[in-house]
């Protein structure tokens, strides 16, 4: 059942809640507002449950200024939008509206967002969720290359020349939309899994969901030597932003640094395709800074109807804090993965994740 409520507020904002419905206009407006893969309908369809999705829209002068897609179950409103910056006013407006319209809701949960640190109108808790590195792309790939550090430019040029000299058949190709070959995706995923697992992690990608998302908004870079895939990257585009997702490279060509080359080539291709931002993903990898990525830290935010509801959900609140500490520990472990103790913990962590994936 769908209900639509249009409430005019004193500041000229009109609020509409679409319960158990996501209107068709929402997909395009999410792109316009946030330009973010993890707040887009393609990502929700591929990686999130789309059962009983509802949506909230704040309008000003007939234009949406905030949109949140959410699910309500078991007393909790889970907001699907992630990796976006929302100011406190919009979060407060959303919380006031949803707590008023959904009396059974005790908690509103944002999994990963950036917001100012002033106090909210309701009891809340915040903890570290994730991070990402973003490059503000210049107008041309030439300008981007010139902005790189001298040592980075020299290394890229050396590696490009070396692989081309040793393997004259070396080529780089980009595929989008119907030109994407599913086998290329599978091959890149296998190369990526082999590299990660070589560090003692029993790791596997979610192939089915990645392929589904690539079909909706993918850009795949494939590096060939003698007609055979030797490296590549799986990326996505939403609006004017590009998102690096998976990098794979054959161990046989280790000395050429093909993983770094595919990142560089994909960034340049994104600029040529008029991209404004390139997201390198999270994780403490030095190359992201060298490629001009700037870190953005995201928090999990849980908002409670009252302090009484917070105490009644103390177990959930404690779990949120614990998950935040585990995620920070995971970042630290990756920074020190060469140490035997860190490798053991990371191996156990990825084994646990893979077991959960199989059960879900």
208 exposed, middle or buried (CB, 10 Å; 0-12, 13-18, 19+)?
exposed
- Kindly tell me if the per-residue pLDDT of 65 is higher than 90: yes
What is the arithmetic mean of pLDDT over 288-293?
96
Please provide the average confidence, as pLDDT, over all residues in the chain.
88
Radius of gyration of the chain (CA): 22
Q: What is the pLDDT of residues 236-286, one digit of tens each?
A: 999 999 999 999 999 999 999 999 999 999 999 999 999 999 999 988 788
Q: Which of 45, 61, 56 is nearest to 21 (CA)?
A: 56
Predicted model pTM: 0.87
- Kindly tell me if the per-residue pLDDT of 12 is higher than 90: no
pLDDT of residue 332: 47
What is the arithmetic mean of pLDDT over 63-73?
97
Query: Which pLDDT band holds residue 79 (cuts at 50, 70, 90)?
Result: very high
Q: What is the pLDDT of residues 170-180, one digit of tens each?
A: 999 999 999 99
- Kindly tell me if the per-residue pLDDT of 6 is higher than 50: yes
Compute the C-alpha angle 323/328/334, nearest 5°.
125
Q: Which residue has the tokens 């697992």?
A: 197
Query: Which pLDDT band holds residue 294 (cuts at 50, 70, 90)?
Result: very high
pLDDT of residue 78: 97
Which residues, other chains included, contact 269 with Cβ-Cβ below 8 Å and sequence gap of 6+? Answer: 141, 174, 219, 221
Please tell me the distance from the alpha carbon of residue 66 to that of residue 38, in angstroms, as a whole number. 15
Q: What is the pLDDT of residues 160-198, one digit of tens each?
A: 999 999 999 999 999 999 999 999 999 999 999 999 888
Structure token pair of residue 65:
């200024």
Cα of 292 vs its chain's centroid, Å: 18
Strands 107-114 and 84-85: parallel
Q: Residue 277 belongs to what H/E stretch?
A: strand 277-281
Q: Which of 113-122, 127-136, 195-204, 265-274 has the highest mean pLDDT?
A: 265-274
Compute the C-alpha angle 37/38/40, nearest 5°.
65
Cα of 260 vs its chain's centroid, Å: 20
Please tell me the distance from the alpha carbon of residue 78 to that of residue 7, in angstroms, as a whole number. 22
What is the arithmetic mean of pLDDT over 53-81?
96
Which residues, other chains included, contact 285 with Cβ-Cβ below 8 Å and sequence gap of 6+? Answer: none
pLDDT of residue 10: 57
What is the arithmetic mean of pLDDT over 108-130?
88
292, 106 contact by CB (below 8 A): no
- Kindly tell me if the per-residue pLDDT of 231 is higher than 70: yes
- Kindly tell me if the per-residue pLDDT of 350 is higher than 60: no
Q: Which of 235, 236, 137 is nearest to 145 (CA)?
A: 137
Structure token pair of residue 321:
């804090």
What sections of the chain are H helices per DSSP? 25-34, 41-47, 88-101, 141-147, 150-166, 182-197, 207-217, 258-272, 286-290, 307-312, 314-335, 340-359
Structure token pair of residue 359:
């059960």
- Kindly tell me if the per-residue pLDDT of 7 is higher than 60: yes
296, 269 contact by CB (below 8 A): no
Query: Which pLDDT band holds residue 3 (cuts at 50, 70, 90)?
Result: low
């Amino acid at each position: 059942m769908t209900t639509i409520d249009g409430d005019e507020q004193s500041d000229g904002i009109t609020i509409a809640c679409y319960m158990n419905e996501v209107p068709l206009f929402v997909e395009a407006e999410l792109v316009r507002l946030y330009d973010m893969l993890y707040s887009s309908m393609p990502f929700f369809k591929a990686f999130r449950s789309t059962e009983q999705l509802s949506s909230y829209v704040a309008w000003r002068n007939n234009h949406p200024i905030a949109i949140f897609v959410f699910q309500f179950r078991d007393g909790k409103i889970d907001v699907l939008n992630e990796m976006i910056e929302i100011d406190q006013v919009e979060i407060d407006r959303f919380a006031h509206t949803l707590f008023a319209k959904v009396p059974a809701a005790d908690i509103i949960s944002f999994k990963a967002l950036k917001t100012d640190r002033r106090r909210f109108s309701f009891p809340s808790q915040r903890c570290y969720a994730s991070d990402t590195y973003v490059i503000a792309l210049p107008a041309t790939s030439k300008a981007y290359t010139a902005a790189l550090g001298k040592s980075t430019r020299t290394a890229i040029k050396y590696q490009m020349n070396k692989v081309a000299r040793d393997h004259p058949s070396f080529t780089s190709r980009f595929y989008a939309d119907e030109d994407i070959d599913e086998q290329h995706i599978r091959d890149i995923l296998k190369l990526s899994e082999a590299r990660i697992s070589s560090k003692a992690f029993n790791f596997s990608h979610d192939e089915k969901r990645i392929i589904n998302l690539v079909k909706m908004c993918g850009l795949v870079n494939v590096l060939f030597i003698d007609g055979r895939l030797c490296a590549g990257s799986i990326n996505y585009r939403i609006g004017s932003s590009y998102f690096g997702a998976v990098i794979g490279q054959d161990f046989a060509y280790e000395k050429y640094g093909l993983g770094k080359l595919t990142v560089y080539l994909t960034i340049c291709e994104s600029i040529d395709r008029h991209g404004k931002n390139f997201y390198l993903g999270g994780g403490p990898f030095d190359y992201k800074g060298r490629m001009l990525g700037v870190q953005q830290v995201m928090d999990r935010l849980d908002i409670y109807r009252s302090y009484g509801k917070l105490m009644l959900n103390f177990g959930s609140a404690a779990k949120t804090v614990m998950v935040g500490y585990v995620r920070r520990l995971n970042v630290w472990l990756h920074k020190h993965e060469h140490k035997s103790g860190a490798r053991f913990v990371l191996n156990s962590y990825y084994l646990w994740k893979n077991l959960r994936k199989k059960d879900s």
